[in-house]
Amino acid sequence: MNAARKLTYRDALREAMREAMQRDGRVFVMGEDVGRYGGTYAVTKGLLEEFGAERVRDTPLSELAFVGTGIGAALGGMRPIVEVMTVNFSLLALDQIVNNAATIRHMSGGQFSIPLVIRMTTGAGRQLAAQHSHSLEGWYAHVPGIKVLAPATVEDARGMLWPALEDPDPVLIFEHAQLFGVTAEVSEGAVVDIRHAKVAREGANVTLITYGGMLPKALQAAQELVADGIEAEVIDLRVLRPLDSESFLASVRKTRRAVVIDEGWRSGSLSAEISARIMEQAFFDLDAPVARVCSEEVPIPYPKHLEDAALPQVDKIVAAARALFGAAAQ
């Protein structure tokens, strides 16, 4: 196999775009401040210099208009990568995403497909308060017609873009703001799929099911549970729509216990969907009710201590997992 290299999550995303643009002349990048500014999170830095302003397009502050333009360009034969600064701002483009991107294939009787990739930042943790910190990927995962990816690792940051561009349907990629600086080794030319969840850590006693920015916290919780004699298996969902139920059901059938960790709010969340599927399909394999660790039901507050309190944290995950073993393990 090819040699492994160390990369940050941010660099991996950039490399993936650069490679896609080199490989396919139809690929171009469009969004607010992707060019001259270098990208809000510096993901697109340097691409303008390399590919020019035709293929790295700075847009006005017009989420609705430029996301819609991406849809039209995809319909017209291009392979656009649209960057929306954060998921909160994508709400200004919700109409285009939900009413057009997700529906046109179906409404046209399968005549038109929309090979569009929309990337955006999600998640809290940087004290950016209630209009820049939310995790709304679960909402998008509700909508048939789009696919929703959540790269939690550098490998997926590097590898998910190309299959997303090859996919004939609109794909939304959610990049958690806390992950940009994460560094890891990736092997050159590693190929990843965008269909399956992945076992991020093997274990026999409880399954921690999570995705995106919560994966590092779940892995750390698994580490801490070892002291209690609990071996946790950690499932990285990777793909939020369509959900790969088989992966987490197989794990839960083995461990007989599950904790779902989701940075979205609990009510009406992705975690609720996962928990329901476990209940529907693995109820008799369970030794304890499914537990959930989600964000508190509050717009994310600004002060650090309140923001921390609002989010799923390692200690909450550990406590939720322990509680599934009854008094003996506590």
Ligand X SMILES: Cc1ncc(C[n+]2csc(CCOP(=O)(O)OP(=O)(O)O)c2C)c(N)n1
Q: Which is nearer to ligand X, 92 or 243 (CB)?
A: 92
Q: Which is nearer to another protein, 110 or 305 (CB)?
A: 305
> Which of ligand X, another protein, none binds 22 (CB below 5-8 Å, type-dependent)?
none
> Which of ligand X, another protein, none binds 268 (CB below 5-8 Å, type-dependent)?
none
**Shortest distance in whole angstroms from residue 89 CB to ligand X:** 4
Q: Of residues 32, 83, 132, 233, which has the active-site annotation?
A: 132
Q: Which is nearer to ligand X, 92 or 143 (CB)?
A: 92
Report the alpha-carbon distance of residue 245 to residue 298 in Å, rounded.
29
Long-range interactions of 65-69: CB distance < 8 A, separation 24+: 66/30, 66/31, 66/32, 66/93, 67/93, 67/96, 67/97, 67/101, 67/118, 68/93, 68/96, 68/100, 69/30
Q: Tell me: does residue 89 bind ligand X (CB under 6 A).
A: yes
Determine the interface stretch with ligand X among 85-93, 162-170, 249-257, 279-287 (rule: CB under 6 A). Answer: 85-93
The three-class DSSP label of residue 119 is strand
Number of residues that bind ligand X (CB under 6 A): 6
Residues 32-51 that bind ligand X (CB under 6 A): 32
Q: Which is nearer to another protein, 38 or 163 (CB)?
A: 38
Helices 215-225, 314-323: inter-axial angle, 10-degree rounding: 50
233 is a catalytic site residue: no
Q: Quick one: 237 exposed, middle or buried, by C-beta within 10 A (0-12, 13-18, 19+)?
A: buried
Q: Tell me: does residue 129 bind ligand X (CB under 6 A).
A: no
- Nearest to residue 83, comparing CAs of 162, 30, 47? 30
Q: Do strands 117-122 and 56-58 pair parallel, antiparallel, or not at all (unpaired)? A: unpaired
**Shortest distance in whole angstroms from residue 41 CB to ligand X:** 12
- Nearest to residue 141, comparing CAs of 180, 193, 191, 87? 87
Q: Which of 85, 206, 230, 274 binds ligand X (CB under 6 A)?
A: 85
Q: Which is nearer to ligand X, 83 or 155 (CB)?
A: 83
Q: Give yes or no for a contact between 120 and 87, defined as CB atoms under 8 angstroms apart.
A: yes
63 is a catalytic site residue: yes
> Which of ligand X, another protein, none binds 64 (CB below 5-8 Å, type-dependent)?
another protein
Q: What does DSSP assign to residue 194?
A: S
Residues in contact with another protein by CB under 8 A are 32-33, 36-38, 40, 58, 60-65, 88-89, 92, 126-132, 296-299, 301-306, 309-310
Instruction: Please identify the residue of the shown chain whose CB is closest to the bound ligand X.
Output: 89
Report the alpha-carbon distance of residue 84 to residue 95 in Å, rounded.
14
Q: Which is nearer to another protein, 22 or 131 (CB)?
A: 131
> Which of another protein, ligand X, none binds 276 (CB below 5-8 Å, type-dependent)?
none
**Shortest distance in whole angstroms from residue 296 CB to another protein:** 6
- Nearest to residue 170, comparing CAs of 88, 112, 252? 112
Q: Tell me: does residue 61 bind ligand X (CB under 6 A).
A: yes
Burial letters 171-196, b for 16+ CB under 10 A, else e: bbbbbbbbbbebebebeeeeebebee
Q: Tell me: does residue 298 bind ligand X (CB under 6 A).
A: no
Q: Give catalytic residues, as residue numbers.
A: 63, 132
Contacts with ligand X, residue ranges (CB under 6 A): 32, 61, 63, 85, 89, 92
